[in-house]
Amino acid sequence: MKKNNLGFSLIELLAAITILGVIMGGAVIGVSRYLDRARNQSYESMEKGAYEAAQSYILDQNIILAKGSSMTIPFDVLIDELYLEKPLDPAVKNGSVCKGSVDVSNPLSSGELDNYQYHVLLKCSHHESEVDFPKK
């Protein structure tokens, strides 16, 4: 009797599908981690941008804070005055804009701008953070 070897056996097909499934599972996990890292870097970039926008705003407006005083600059003001672009939430595809503010304080004795401390608050749909600048 002659044996017909024209196709794959069921065991060979199952083994190939299992191997492809394991490879795809690893790829999905790797891509997911990559996207999370990119999203976190985007949030960090927004925080730094808000800090730099607040610095420029303080300089351009000639704002001098007395010792121990502080002020809050909402993102809306920085956007309206063209110091900051609308921070779009990278986690949402519908163009949702992140909200936030920058608290500026002068804890030291002089009114020098180098002594000011900045506290950036960023609120997005799936992310919320608070960061102090300059970083120590």
Number of structural domains (the chain) is 1
pTM of the model: 0.79
Within a domain: residue 80?
Answer: yes
> How confident is the model over 22-62, as pLDDT tens digits?
999 999 999 999 999 999 999 999 999 999 999 999 999 99
Within a domain: residue 129?
Answer: yes
Within a domain: residue 40?
Answer: yes
The whole domain housing 62 covers: 10-133
Within a domain: residue 32?
Answer: yes
Within a domain: residue 64?
Answer: yes
Assess whether the previous peptide bond of 134 is cis (omega < 30° from 0).
yes
Within a domain: residue 91?
Answer: yes
Within a domain: residue 123?
Answer: yes
Within a domain: residue 1?
Answer: no
**Rounded Cα–Cα distance for residues 56 and 83 (Å):** 7
> How confident is the model over 95-133, as pLDDT tens digits?
899 999 999 998 876 656 678 999 999 999 989 999 999
Cβ neighbours for 58, distance < 8 A, ≥ 6 positions apart: 104, 113, 116
CA distances from 16 to 10, 20, 21, 47 (A): 10, 6, 9, 47
